[in-house]
Amino acid sequence: MKILIIEDEPGIVSFIRQGLEEESYEVIAEKNGIFGLERATTEPFDVILLDWMLPGLSGIEVCRLLREKDKITPVIFLTSKDTVQDTVMGLQAGANDYIKKPFQFEELLERIKVQTRTRLQEAETLTLGNITMDVLAHEVRKDDRPIALTKKEFSLLEYIIRRKGQVCRRSEIIEEVWDIHFEMSTGVIDVYINALRKKLDLKTEEDHIQTVRGVGYMAKE
């Protein structure tokens, strides 16, 4: 699991990082709202922990802008604001949960687990336009027509659909889908993407798998 912390208080970041890394989470931290938003929209994360008061952009602004591109990744607000109106504002901005400072790490950990568990349960059936994936049954359909994919093609399609709306860099794909953690040519990804497009009969005007030149690919509705 990969967690993004957008928080400008070093003590809080250190406290959360230490606890999460002991639980085997990968932790990335940004202390500025602008940089945090850039990270959140260009890299895949399982949960985002977001402070309300941030330099650059406020947490509310970050959340609202994030939701324009990513409606899936769970966001948990971390804030000392404690009125009902503040809670409502945070949830209306697109947050999934809201935890008030100061908090115990155990409570934060349980809230993270709830969000990741809920997301995994919801993600057993994935959709991309008129394409559906049944992850458990290992089936792909387009307009209810079955599509035969190899195991690696299925894994690649699942990876980019789970990160729908986010750029999937070639280096990340080769590490996560091929489980290769050393430098090598990522040209094999292009071959598999082309095979997927052919099998899914994707035309230019409905290309749900878009090329981000020089970077990678992005699944879009």
Q: What is the mean pLDDT of the chain?
A: 89
Question: What CATH number does domain 2-122 carry, 3.40.50.2300, 2.40.128.260, 3.20.20.190, 3.40.50.620?
Answer: 3.40.50.2300
Measured CA to CA, the distance from residue 87 to residue 82 in angstroms comes to: 7
pLDDT at 90 (0 to 100): 85
Amino acid at 154: F
Of 60, 13, 20, 57, nearest to 36 by C-alpha is 57
pLDDT at 69 (0 to 100): 85
Measured CA to CA, the distance from residue 146 to residue 106 in angstroms comes to: 44
Kindly list the domain boundaries of the chain, sorted by start residue. 2-122, 125-219
Domain 125-219: give its CATH architecture: Orthogonal Bundle (1.10)
Q: How confident is the model at residue 1 (pLDDT cuts 50, 70, 90)?
A: confident
Over residues 45-54, the pLDDT tens digits come to 999 999 999 9
Over residues 192-218, the pLDDT tens digits come to 999 999 999 987 655 889 999 889 999
Q: How confident is the model at residue 185 (pLDDT cuts 50, 70, 90)?
A: low
What is the average per-residue pLDDT within 88-111?
A: 90
Measured CA to CA, the distance from residue 1 to residue 37 in angstroms comes to: 19
